[in-house]
Amino acid sequence: MKKWLLYLSLPLTLLACQGGASEAERQQALETEVMDLHDEAMADMSKIYRLRRNLTSLRDTLQAQSADTATISLLARRIQELDQADEAMMEWMRQYKAPDTLAHQQAMLYLNAEHQKMERVKSLMDSTITQAQETYATYGKK
């Protein structure tokens, strides 16, 4: 049994000694992850614009009909949330800088922080879109 474990662990030990991916490869992989998250979020921007337009139109129609103020207030809140999600994405894009001039360790720290920021932006966008869609489905058909 011990010989069998030794034979299994030998390839793993050799791989570990080789160091795996280079620093540049690890940095590029992390930067790619950050940009993939960004691209997913950008794909959702059209949903935000469409929902904002639909909710604004619905709110304006209900205001003209002197509808329930609680409903109008909810629609206004959903529009504001969509604006905030949109602004969070725009703010991230304005502040992001490719870490081309940073040393590897600094670049990795920066990219990890940017990855976390983009995850928060994407999560905000996803939850805001879901709530806006539910609100529109509820009040848009009345």
Burial of 64 (0-12, 13-18, 19+ CB in 10 A): exposed
Categorize the per-residue pLDDT at 16 as very low, low, confident or very high, splitting at 50, 70 and 90: very low
In a domain, 38, yes or no: yes
pLDDT exceeds cutoff 90 at 67: no
Domain that holds residue 107: 24-139
Residues 54, 34: contact at Cβ < 8 Å? no
**Residue 4 reports pLDDT greater than 90:** no
Q: Average pLDDT in the 61-90 region?
A: 94
Domain for residue 17, yes or no? no
User: Does residue 3 fall inside a structural domain?
Assistant: no
The pTM of this model reads: 0.79
pLDDT value for 66: 83
- The number of distinct structural domains making up the chain is 1
Whether residue 13 contacts residue 61, with contact meaning beta carbons closer than 8 Å, is answered with no
List the one residue out of 108, 92, 100 whose CA is nearest residue 38.
Answer: 92
